[in-house]
A and B are shown apart, each in its own frame.
Chain A
Amino acid sequence: DTAVSQTPKYLVTQMGNDKSIKCEQNLGHDTMYWYKQDSKKFLKIMFSYNNKELIINETVPNRFSPKSPDKAHLNLHINSLELGDSAVYFCASSQAPFGETQYFGPGTRLLVL
């Protein structure tokens, strides 16, 4: 069983489109995250939710909106996609917000043309 899963694995789309990435974890964790890995391979935090409440919101354009329908799911919706949004997006989860190991999903490779 996959602990943290993401769909889709690949996403190719045109500039200006709106797209969503879904994430689910079956670890029973309370905290979930979205990270972005750019072409230089740096992983940077975007958002974090604890028990469906937003607790981290880094300097991310308003076009990015996370939604957590329940503790096991954290989706990422992106409006008006731009070329610079091309990256790999990783979902992660941890038992609790602080000091706990974060477990990552396989990533969603987004290419904006």
Chain B
Amino acid sequence: NAGVTQTPKFRVLKTGQSMTLLCAQDMNHEYMYWYRQDPGMGLRLIHYSVGEGTTAKGEVPDGYNVSRLKKQNFLLGLESAAPSQTSVYFCASSTLGRAYNEQFFGPGTRLTVL
């Protein structure tokens, strides 16, 4: 199993450009999450999904949109990138919604917005 994979690994955007980050998991997990990691801030939840076709806002959703058209994929979109969105983005997944379930993380996407 590949676990959780993310594409691309690195990306540089100019302010105002748009892009989509793709997260894929092959563990048949129901729940998927997008986080951003900034120095000294830990990880903060952007959006999450409890199943195919459903998404919800996390702690820092502004400027991002998501879609979960297939159970195994969770897309994070930036419609008009801003320098404040320079960050490392991590996708995660977990099985069912049990609070004690481990979340499995992808390798991350390092995004720089100039």
The judgment on whether A and B are partners is no
Residues of B with Cβ closer than 8 Å to A? none
Residues of A with Cβ closer than 8 Å to B? none
